[in-house]
Amino acid sequence: MRLFAIGDLHLPSARGKRMDRFGWKDHPRPLAEAWDQAVAPSDLVLVLGDTSWATRPSEVEEDLAWIHERQGRKVLLKGNHDFWWPDSRTKLGTLLAPFPSIVGFLHNGSALREGPYVIAGVRGWTVPEAPQLPGGGYDPELDMESYQPHVVERDLGRLRASVQAAEVLARDPDTIRVACMHFPPVYAGPKPTRFSPIIEAYRPAVCAYGHLHGPGIPAGFVGEHNGVRYVLTSCDAARFAPIRLL
């Protein structure tokens, strides 16, 4: 079982919201082709947030069906644009149940095991450590005026809980530890955030993340920091194809 990741699919949902104005003309079509060529049915794909433009569960079903139809087994993580994502773990499980190739999700401090991989992760949020461009932030959606310390603290707590849950699942000596976030845990430099020490204490083989697009892509760190390999997997950074992690 190989491991892949891709974030920020930004599928159109029942609302029909397209990404053409960002240069992603009809992007689900080439993305589907690249995905199905690269991934085998037995592989695992981490889908790292900002999956759909849906704003409620009733609008997301066709996008979940699109993911279900792609090759491989999928695990979902929430992004900052996933307004369709239910607060309740039970409701989320019910929503995903008709799509059996979506084998799991990370939700509010949970972890999961799929094959040899034990996966910990959270969404994250904008942090003061995020670098800036001359004309503004690398994160135009959530610039520092939107920095919310209580949200950051909440997701730090959820990441600690996720890592603790993963440690219980990782007792098998053959375990491969994996971490993921939607927001960057480390920026270019490398410039760590307050999330990265928690990840690095978990000692994952790899940590994948997304969120950064266009001119923000250079702000992402790709490489090894404190023994962890970090990989940026947002859709345009990944050239609209899942990136193989392991």
Its domain, for residue 184, covers 3-244
pLDDT at position 126: 86
**pLDDT tens track of the chain, all 246 residues?**
999 999 999 998 767 677 776 778 789 999 999 999 999 999 999 999 999 999 999 999 999 999 999 999 999 999 999 999 999 999 999 999 999 999 999 999 999 999 999 999 999 998 888 876 544 444 545 455 567 889 999 999 999 999 999 999 999 999 999 999 999 999 999 999 999 999 999 999 999 999 998 888 999 999 999 999 999 999 999 999 999 999
Q: Are 44 and 4 in contact (CB under 8 A)?
A: yes
Q: Which DSSP state fits 144?
A: G
pTM of the full structure: 0.93
pLDDT at position 136: 43
CATH of the domain at 126: 3.60.21.10
* Burial bucket for residue 135 (CB in 10 Å: 0-12, 13-18, 19+): exposed
Q: Are 182 and 211 in contact (CB under 8 A)?
A: yes
Number of domains in the chain: 1
Task: Report the C-alpha gap between 225 and 88 in whole angstroms.
Answer: 35
